[in-house]
Amino acid sequence: MEIIEKAPAKINLGVDALYQRDDGYYELEMVMISVDLSDHITVCDFPEPKIQLKTNSGFLPLDRKNLVYRAAELLMERFAVSTGVAVEIDKRIPVAAGLAGGSSDCAATLRALNKLWQLGLTLEELASLGAEIGSDVPYCIYGNTAFVSGRGEFVEKITNIKPFWTVLAKPPKSMPTASVFQALDIDHISHPNIHALREAIDKQDFEQMFKKMGNVLESVTIERMPEIQKIKNIMLSLGAKAALMSGSGSTVFGICENQTQAKHVFNGIKGFNSEVYLTRLLVN
C-alpha cells in the first residue's frame, strides 16, 4: 500500500520571544499559517525491517539528521512496528528558509505512517509525538491558521482569515535558526503584540492585522542580511499590504489582496531575486 501526504510550507504572521526557559528554549507566541507551496511525502511498505529514505533534493540528509527519518524511527520504536518502510520526499519548499519545510515533512510522515500502519492515533497524539522531534512539528500536524505558544507544543486553531495571495522570496543565503536565537537580545528590542494580531484576525479586521504583524527575530537576521529589509521595502513599494520575514529567515513574504496585485509584486521581485513563489494562504 502507498500513502501520499502533502507537506505545506508555513509563514509567520507574528513571532515574539518572551523569555528564555530553563530548558534553553525560548517561550514563544506566534501566529502561523500554511501556504499552498508543498512538499509531497510518499510512504510504502519495504521488504526489509529498516527505513529507506529517498528525495529529489541534494540538500537533504538521508539518515537520522533528517526529521522524516526520525519520525519513522519514533513510530517504529514506540509502537513495535516490525515491518520496514520506504519514504520518498518530493522537495519543493526551499531548504533552511524559515518555512518549516523539514518540520512539515516530518508531520506529513507521521500522518502518512499512522495510516499505513493503521495505528489509529489522533492528531493530538501525533502532535505530542511530533513535539519530541521538533518545535514546529506540532503546528505542522494541524496546519492552516493557529496561535502557537510554549516552544511550539501548544497549538490553538484560528478561523476567519481570508485566503490572501502571498509572494515568497528566498535570498540565496540561509540563516541557521539556532544562531539567530543565540544572538537575540529580548530586553532591548521592540516586541510585536501577538494577542492584538490574533484579535484583529478574529474580528476580520485585516487592515489592523497588517499593522500588527511583526517578527522579533528580524532584529537579528536583518542586521546580518540587509537584503531582507530591501526585499520587504520593494514588496511594499509594489503594492503588498504587508511584508515580513518568516521564522528566523531568510524568506520574506508579502501579502496581497488579489491575484493581480500579487503578480505585480512577484514580477518586480523576480527581477533581482531568483527564488520567488506565488502562493495563497491555506485557510480553515
- The catalytic residue positions are 10, 136
Kind of pairing, strands 2-20 and 26-46?
antiparallel
What cell does 63 get? Answer: 539518515
What is 162-229 written as a DSSP string?
---EEEEE--SS---HHHHHHT--GGGS----HHHHHHHHHTT-HHHHHHH-EETTHHHHHHH-THHH
First to last CA, the chain: 29
- For residue 92, the 8-state DSSP code is -
Cα–Cα dist 154/99, whole Å = 19
In degrees, rounded to 5, the angle at the alpha carbon of residue 36 between the alpha carbons of residues 98 and 165 is 90
Kind of pairing, strands 165-169 and 214-215?
unpaired
- For residue 62, the 8-state DSSP code is S
107 in Cβ contact with 52 (< 8 Å): no
CA distances from 26 to 20, 57, 133, 182 (A): 4, 31, 16, 10
30 in Cβ contact with 14 (< 8 Å): yes
Angle between helices 227-237 and 259-270 (to 10 degrees): 140
CA distances from 264 to 33, 207, 267 (A): 23, 20, 5
